[in-house]
Amino acid sequence: MSPLRHALIAYLVVRRALGFKLQQAEQLLDQFLTYVEQCDETHLRLPTMLAWATRPAHDSGWSARRLAIVRRFASHLHAIDPATEVPPTDLLPWRQRRATPYLYADEEVTGLLDAAATLRGAHRVATVRTLIRLLAVTGMRVGEALALDREDVDVPQSVLTIRHAKFGKSRELPVHPSTIAALRQYLQRDDRPRTATQTAAVFVSLAGTRLRYRHVHWTFHRLVRRAGLTPRSATCRPRIHDLRHRFAVCTLLDAYRSGEDAQTRLHRLSTYLGHVDPAHTYWYLSAAPELLQLASDRLQRHLGGGL
């Protein structure tokens, strides 16, 4: 094994110890080192990195993404091998554009649930409706909900345990007893596939296996069409992930309307959502005009009272 391959293994170990999963990064860096070896090079050189990142003809965003992954590895390796060149940050500049959150109104969530009732099979209907409701009242990531096991549902304490979430973190979510009751009802349905006993998963398919994200994603898009929901702009389209945005916004709206300390609620919300940085939670809230107006009104009252 070449020194570069050994360095890659060490790099991945260090980064994963910090909580990064790096499945895609590992695959791309393996491909990159194969390209370096084909070039008969023993050190990372800028021309080689740029040539690999832009071949074959990728769109600018994907090429920049590839180069960014190599840049992080090169920065790590440069501390060990000064001969390693590190691509400047302004080479293939690209800034990821996040989709504008689609903030569902109450009647739109109801419309999605009504559309789910038209799916074939009572178990499938119950699965999709229970999943949508859970996402709406907890703000969980879709992957976190699908990863739930039966043992993660603490009935006496009304707590859900999220294990091995983003960045390898786990957390506990206190929920309303009605949420636990709905999950218990779903788990105890007579039409739950018999083969589901072979998996610990809460949400299972008709085959009795853990529900997969791509199937949920495909089904949700069908529900969006059946519910008559349409994009509000080119960057604001109804997605299942936006149920998480809705939960975050509704939580802060409730704090403002009830006169609570919104800043304290925001920090609690950040922890509840599993964010490692409260700045990520701020971004979730930036697309809600009503929330921004309430924050502005409170600021004006504060400033007015101080004059």
Q: What's the pLDDT score for residue 306?
A: 46
Residue 17 lies in a domain: yes
Q: What's the pLDDT score for residue 96?
A: 61
Structure tokens at 96: 């990821």
Is residue 275 part of the annotated active site? The answer reads yes
Q: Which of 112, 141, 139 is nearest to 128 (CA)?
A: 112
Number of domains comprising the chain = 3
Q: Write the CATH number for 191.
A: 1.10.443.10
Q: Which of 43, 45, 124, 141 is catalytic?
A: 141
171 Cβ contact list (under 8 Å, min separation 6): 161, 162, 165, 271, 272, 274
Length of the chain as a residue count: 307
| 147, 247 contact by CB (below 8 A) | no
Rounded Cα distance between 100 and 289, Å, is: 13
Q: What's the pLDDT score for residue 307?
A: 42
Gyration radius of the chain's alpha carbons = 24
pLDDT in tens, 115-164: 999 999 999 999 999 999 999 999 999 999 999 999 999 999 999 999 87
Is residue 282 part of the annotated active site? The answer reads no
Of the pLDDT bands very low, low, confident and very high (cuts 50, 70, 90), residue 292 is low
Q: Which of 123, 82, 135, 146 is nearest to 241 (CA)?
A: 135
Residue 123 lies in a domain: yes
pLDDT above 70 (res 58): no
Rounded Cα distance between 19 and 9, Å, is: 16
Residue 47: domain span: 3-78
Whole-prediction pTM value?
Answer: 0.71
Is residue 200 domain-shared with residue 251, that is, in the same domain? no
Picking from 202, 226, 250, the residue at the C-terminal end of a domain is 226
Q: Which of 71, 245, 246, 275 is catalytic?
A: 275
Is residue 206 domain-shared with residue 114, that is, in the same domain? yes
pLDDT in tens, 241-280: 999 989 988 888 887 777 777 678 888 888 898 887 777 7
Picking from 226, 254, 277, the residue at the C-terminal end of a domain is 226
Is residue 237 part of the annotated active site? The answer reads no
Q: Which of 192, 241, 256, 265 is catalytic?
A: 241
Q: Which of 66, 71, 76, 244 is catalytic?
A: 244
Number of other CB atoms surrounding residue 158 within 10 Å: 16
What does the DSSP assignment read for 92-125? S---PPPPPP----HHHHHHHHHHHTTSSSHHHH
Is residue 114 domain-shared with residue 221, that is, in the same domain? yes
Is residue 252 domain-shared with residue 199, that is, in the same domain? no
pLDDT above 60 (res 57): yes
Rounded Cα distance between 219 and 162, Å, is: 24
Picking from 78, 96, 118, the residue at the C-terminal end of a domain is 78
Is residue 245 part of the annotated active site? The answer reads no
> How far, in Å, are 40, 46, 240 from residue 188 at the CA level?
61, 59, 26
Is residue 113 domain-shared with residue 197, that is, in the same domain? yes
Residue 113 lies in a domain: yes
Rounded Cα distance between 131 and 222, Å, is: 15
Give the position of tokens 């072979």: 198
Is residue 134 domain-shared with residue 198, that is, in the same domain? yes
Residue 86 lies in a domain: no
Is residue 144 domain-shared with residue 50, that is, in the same domain? no
Residue 191 lies in a domain: yes
Is residue 141 part of the annotated active site? The answer reads yes
Is residue 33 domain-shared with residue 132, that is, in the same domain? no
pLDDT above 60 (res 83): yes
Residue 25 lies in a domain: yes
Rounded Cα distance between 128 and 135, Å, is: 11
Is residue 120 domain-shared with residue 19, that is, in the same domain? no
Phi, psi of 233 (to 5 degrees): -165, 180
Per DSSP (E only), the strands in 83-199 are 153-154, 159-162, 171-174
Q: What's the pLDDT score for residue 99?
A: 74
Once rounded to an integer, what is the mean pLDDT over residues 188-208? 94
